[in-house]
Amino acid sequence: MEKTYDCIIVGAGPSGLTAALNLRRNGKTCIVLEKETIGGQIAVSPRVENIPGTKEISGETFANNLFDQISDLGADFGLENVESITKENDMFIVKTDYETYKAYSVILATGCKHREINVKGEKELTGKGISYCAVCDGAFYKNEDVVLIGDANTALQYALLLSNYCTHVYLNTLFDKFFADKILIERIFKTPNIIVAHNLNLIEIKGQEKLEGLVFEDTKTKETKEFKVRGAFVAIGQLPDNDKFKDIVKLNKGYVVTNENMETSCPGMYAIGDCRDKKVRQLTTAFSDASIASFNVNFYIEDIKGAQHE
């Protein structure tokens, strides 16, 4: 038997959990559906220091605290993979690999994944020296040498950021040039502690409990070079996971298009956090998106229910 909710939230990252928190505080029923782990990418971060009012907390502790908070408020949770979302009249039908749900509204909070290099040890050392966010983790390597892998705008922006507090930033690219804005490239070559090396392919990540070094192969000479560092940043792109929703909401390069109210092209459906089309993807912007969306969802549900009773 289908269970009906005021709102179904797809994704249990910071934005999805924050949306559930606000909806429950407004007395709305909701369920959070997550296919993998609670907390999203932030859950694997050893230290989080950009939450206002909180000096330091581990990503795992933060995620668990937020999950406990919404659970205590009565939000439901399902470890299920959402396979499709359709809309019939004013109701959404959400089908997962286990169940079918109905709701007056849906919030997409599917996030996006950092593209991985897929070298042995990468997954095991993520959060233990391997990072995908210099904004989040760069300050932990103050006065140290770090390696940054990437060749586009994000990689160059990360390199410039890291150069402010790291001794040396080794910026290694797979190809023989950058694929970034000219102004960023010019700034890179004007920054003395950024050392650029092209045509380097990562072939080995060393370390057991923590990162100890990276080995690259020159794609032209086939010579190998090892960088003995405790910190390495991978910035080779991100991968949204919204293809299954392309028939119900508008996408731009895989990201969900919204307005400033987090409304998608489908009335009653909202998108928040890293999955939506925007420039800044940070923990604090995830909170902001979730707050905006949840309050608008609250008004939308009340309008729908009010119209049904007229």
Domains and CATH numbers, the chain: 3-113+238-308 (3.50.50.60), 116-234 (3.50.50.60)
The CB density around residue 31, as the number of other CB atoms within 10 Å, is 21
CA distance 174 to 199: 5
pLDDT of residue 223: 96
| Residues of the chain scoring pLDDT < 50 | none
pLDDT of residue 46: 66
Q: Could you tell me which of 60, 86, 67, 84 has the C-alpha nearest to residue 24? A: 67
Q: Are 106 and 94 in contact (CB under 8 A)?
A: yes
- The two tokens of residue 69 are 């908070």
The CB density around residue 78, as the number of other CB atoms within 10 Å, is 17
pLDDT of residue 234: 96
Q: Could you tell me which of 32, 113, 118 has the C-alpha nearest to residue 74? A: 32
Distance of CA 266 to the CA centre of its chain: 23
Tell me the residue ranges of DSSP E strands in the chain: 3-10, 30-33, 76-78, 82-88, 91-96, 100-108, 112-114, 130-131, 145-149, 168-172, 194-197, 200-207, 211-218, 224-227, 231-234, 238-240, 251-252, 255-256, 269-271
pLDDT of residue 262: 98
pLDDT of residue 171: 98
CA distance 48 to 30: 28
CA angle 159, 284, 123 (to 5 degrees): 55
pLDDT of residue 195: 98
pLDDT of residue 53: 92
